[in-house]
Structure 1
């Protein structure tokens, strides 16, 4: 292995994703790539991002689930007006549109108590999402979408914390293993979209690309960074 590389929160921005992989000169047979979730929602082509991420997984990348994948999974499996509305409010419309589906129609059916079917293509991607891991670790690093509850051991973490937590993780983590996370745009952590290196052994890499920021990549152990806008 030549390099360990980490990217998070692509959010359907396939062109930026390709540009970043090209900029870092990613070589799947030499580099180990970790992707920390949120491949769908808000961007121009979430379906294409899922396709690319699944390809990268087949080439050896480590793929984790984000809270947006969780919202997508709940909306399409529970089929309740509440779960669909929650997903729609967080970019689900863009995701379904990339699959040729109107989220308003799914909501209408759910509100009327009718079940709905999805295409085989979308069903395949949904099944893939359902089996994604919530974290990965090496001897020195823990990779997770949102962070961890500092009051619980890794084995006792709850899914909602791994996918959604902000505080008390940011200020309360004191572990020896460095936690690499996405989910929270780094602008909210240190007033810039650059990678955030916390003083308490946490590294945030979500550059808020879908909010006008940048898509970041972190190399370990060198801590070199790349970004595209």
Structure 2
């Protein structure tokens, strides 16, 4: 399937939001833009059904991971369905909560910012990893942990597949692994294969939304650029909202 052929069922609008990475300020701004976009008096009006898909990586790097998770556990839009997908950064945090001595990768990729947002001391050595894990487990709100544990890896609407990172080309969807969908880069990004659906993803930063015949990349690097993007899908139409 080519991008120009893809569409959603009539009456459905989807907002797909790229990687937030602790920028609750930008998330609040983008939610405001969505709210205005959904207003009956807006240019586009309110559809019969609306879904907001968050593409993962809510935490790390930026300063307010705690606040982002809190926002996402308390949906802002009455009557609007929300889907929060698993990103590789949430997966790294969950792995840290299970096995603290594997924390080096997470901390090297922005996990220190998440610890600060929960007011947990950054471990200064390998020997402190276990204490840091226990401290984080003690301060992590129960509803935050339940949220993290319940994140799905993919969702489909119409001719679109939504995942955090992408899929392994040539492999049927029911055989894709969790690791493929939250970590893959090169093989997916370079592929010109027809995946059968248009894949909407984040994970890999682009200066502008990347429109390819078989995929759309919407991670515009919010934590460093100040630009958080939502892809708006409505029937055969595609447009953007961004901070």
* TM-score, normalization by structure 2: 0.81
Counterpart check, 1:41 vs 2:67: no
Describe how 1:100-111 pairs up with structure 2 within 5 A. 100-104=119-123, 107-110=126-129
Report the 3-state secondary structure (helix = DSSP H, G, I; strand = E; otherwise coil) of the residue aligned with 1:93: helix
Tell me which residue corresponds to 1:16.
26
Tell me which residue corresponds to 1:56.
75
Tell me which residue corresponds to 2:241.
226
Work out the CA distance in 2 between the residues paired with 1:180 and 1:129: 21
Cα 1:182/1:74, change in 2 over 3 Å: same
Work out the CA distance in 2 between the residues paired with 1:106 and 1:31: 47
Cα 1:111/1:130, change in 2 over 3 Å: closer
Counterpart check, 1:6 vs 2:19: no
Render the CA deviation track for 1:139-168: whole Å, top value 9, x for unaligned: 311000000001211111111110010121
Range with bigger deviation, 49-58 or 95-104:
49-58
Q: CA deviation at 1:93?
A: 0.9
Render the CA deviation track for 1:48-105: whole Å, top value 9, x for unaligned: 000111112995201100000001111121121xx21111111111111111111316
| Unaligned residue ranges in structure 2 (runs of 5+) | 1-10, 39-45
Count the aligned residue pairs: 218
Tell me which residue corresponds to 1:190.
none
- Aligned 8 A contact 1:194 1:216 in 2: no
Report the 3-state secondary structure (helix = DSSP H, G, I; strand = E; otherwise coil) of the residue aligned with 1:39: coil
Bigger relative CO (Cα 8 Å, ≥ 6 apart): 2
Tell me which residue corresponds to 1:194.
208
Report the 3-state secondary structure (helix = DSSP H, G, I; strand = E; otherwise coil) of the residue aligned with 1:224: strand
| Unaligned residue ranges in structure 1 (runs of 5+) | 187-192
- Which one of 142, 153, 167 corresponds to residue 186 of structure 2? 167
